[in-house]
Amino acid sequence: MHTNDFESISPEEKSLYIAPHSEKVRKNLFFRHVGCILGLSIFALLALFAIVVPALSPYRYDEVHLALKNVSPSSGHLLGTDDLGRDQLSRVAEGLRLSLAIGLLAAFLDLCIGLSWGAISGFCGGMVDSIMMRTADFIYSVPYLLSVLLVAAIVGPGLASILIAMCFVGWIQMARLVRTQVLATRRLDFVLAARALGVSPMRIVIRHILPNIAGPTLAMLLLTIPHAIFTEAFLSFLGIGIQPPAASLGSMTADALSAMRYYPWRLLAPAVTISATILAFNLIGDGLRDALDPKQKKCIESPYAN
C-alpha cells in the first residue's frame, strides 16, 4: 500500500526538512504571490470586459454615426465617440479582443517553431546544430524593428502579416532557450537509460526531454505574450498594422493623439487598456518564472535589511 512518507513523520522531524523561513522571506513570497494574483485578476477583468461589452453594447464597433462625432463620455456613450461617431467603449473592447487573440496566437506560433527548432538543434548536435543556430543568428542580427517592418511590408497589411512579421524574429528566443535546456538534459541518465532500451530519438525528445524542460519554456511562453501584444499595438500605432475599420488599441491611441487638445478623453481608454493588458501578462509571467525556474528562486537574506 502506498503511504505518504511526509505525512507519517512527526512535526519535530518535519521541521528538520522545512527550511525555517523568517517572517521577512515569507512576506516576500507572499508579495510574489500577490503579483501573480494581481495579474490574474486584471486578466480576468479584461477578459470579462472583452466578452461582455460587445455582447451587451447597443453599438457595433464599426457603426458610424456622423451626427455624433467626438461626443464626450455620457450615459449614451460611456467612453464617448471617436471622429466618425463610433462608440469608443465598443471599439476598446474590440481592440482588446484583437490584442488578446494576437498575443495568444503569436505565442503559440513562437512556441511551435521555437520548440521544434530548438529541440532538433539541441538533440542532434554537431553540424545540424551549428547550421540551425547560425541561421537563427543571421535572422536575429537585423535590428528588431527593422526586420518586423520589412517583413510586414513584404507580406502586406493585415492580421496575418502582423503575425508573420512577429514570428519571423519571435521564435528565435524560444529556440535558443529550448536548445540550451535540451543540451543540458540530453546527457542525463534517464535519457541514456531510454536510449539503452531502444527508444526512438523522436520519442525520447517528446516523452522524456520535453516534459523536463516544460517549466522554463512555459515561463518564457507567457512572457512572449505581452511582447507580441506590444508589437501589434506598436505597428498599428504607426499605421502599418491592423487596417480600419477594424479596431486596434494602437491605432486608436494614434488617432486620439492627433486630436488630444480637443478630445482628450479619446486618449485615456485605449492607452490604459493596452498598458493594463501588458501589465497583467507580465505579472503572471514573472510570478510563473519565480515558481517554475528553480535557478531564479532565491531566498537570500540581505545582511543589511535590519
Partner 1 sequence: MKYVLRFLVIRTGLCLISLFVIATVTFLLMKSIPGDPFQDERGVSSECIEQLKRFYGLNDSLFIQYGRYVKSIFCLDFGPSLKYPAIQVNDIIREGFPISAALGLVALAIALPFGILFGLLAALYHGRGIDSLLRLLAVGGVSVPSFCMASLLQFVFAYELSLLPIARFDSIAHMVLPAVTLAIGPIAIISRLLRASTLDVLGQPYIYTARMKGLQRRHIIPYHVLKNASLPVLSYLGPVIANILVGSFIVERVFAIPGLGQWFVGAVLNRDYPLIGGLTIFYSIVLIISHTIIDLLYTLLDPRVRIYAHE
**Rounded Cα–Cα distance for residues 133 and 129 (Å):** 6
**Contact range with partner 1 by CB under 8 A, out of 63-71, 170-178, 183-191, 232-240:** 232-240
Please count the helices (runs of H) and the strands (runs of E) in the chain. Answer: 12, 0
- 153 to 112, 191, 202: CA distances (angstroms): 24, 45, 37
Q: How far is the CB of 83 from partner 1 (least distance, A)?
A: 16
**Rounded Cα–Cα distance for residues 102 and 277 (Å):** 12
> 59-98: which residues touch partner 1 (CB under 8 A)?
none
Q: How far is the CB of 159 from partner 1 (least distance, A)?
A: 18
Q: At what angle do helices 214-238 and 88-124 cross, to 10 degrees?
A: 130
Size of the site for partner 1 (CB under 8 A): 55
Q: Give CA angle at 271 (267, 277), nearest 5°.
A: 155
Q: How far is the CB of 141 from partner 1 (least distance, A)?
A: 5
Which residue shows C-alpha cell 507567457?
A: 222
Give the nearer residue to partner 1 in terms of CB position, either 186 or 289.
Answer: 289
Q: How far is the CB of 150 from partner 1 (least distance, A)?
A: 4
298 binds partner 1 (CB under 8 A): yes
Interface with partner 1 (CB under 8 A), residue from 226, 241, 247, 263? 226
What is the torsional sign of CA 249, 251, 257, 263?
Answer: negative
Q: Is 156 helix (H, G, I), strand (E, B) or coil?
A: coil
> 107-166: which residues touch partner 1 (CB under 8 A)?
137-139, 141-143, 145-147, 149-151, 153-154, 156
Interface with partner 1 (CB under 8 A), residue from 61, 117, 123, 237? 237
Give the nearer residue to partner 1 in terms of CB position, either 33 or 207.
Answer: 33
294 binds partner 1 (CB under 8 A): no
* Side-chain half-sphere CA neighbours of 299 within 13 A: 14
Through-space distance between the first and last CA atoms of the chain, rounded to whole angstroms = 50
Interface with partner 1 (CB under 8 A), residue from 123, 171, 230, 263? 230
Which residue shows C-alpha cell 501573480?
A: 36
34 binds partner 1 (CB under 8 A): yes
Q: Give CA angle at 208 (204, 211), nearest 5°.
A: 135
Interface with partner 1 (CB under 8 A), residue from 13, 14, 15, 28? 28
**Rounded Cα–Cα distance for residues 159 and 40 (Å):** 27
- Binding footprint of partner 1 on the chain (CB under 8 A): 24-25, 27-28, 31, 34-35, 137-139, 141-143, 145-147, 149-151, 153-154, 156, 226, 230, 233-234, 237-238, 240, 250, 253-254, 256-257, 260-261, 264, 267, 271-272, 274-275, 278-279, 282-283, 286, 296, 298, 300-305
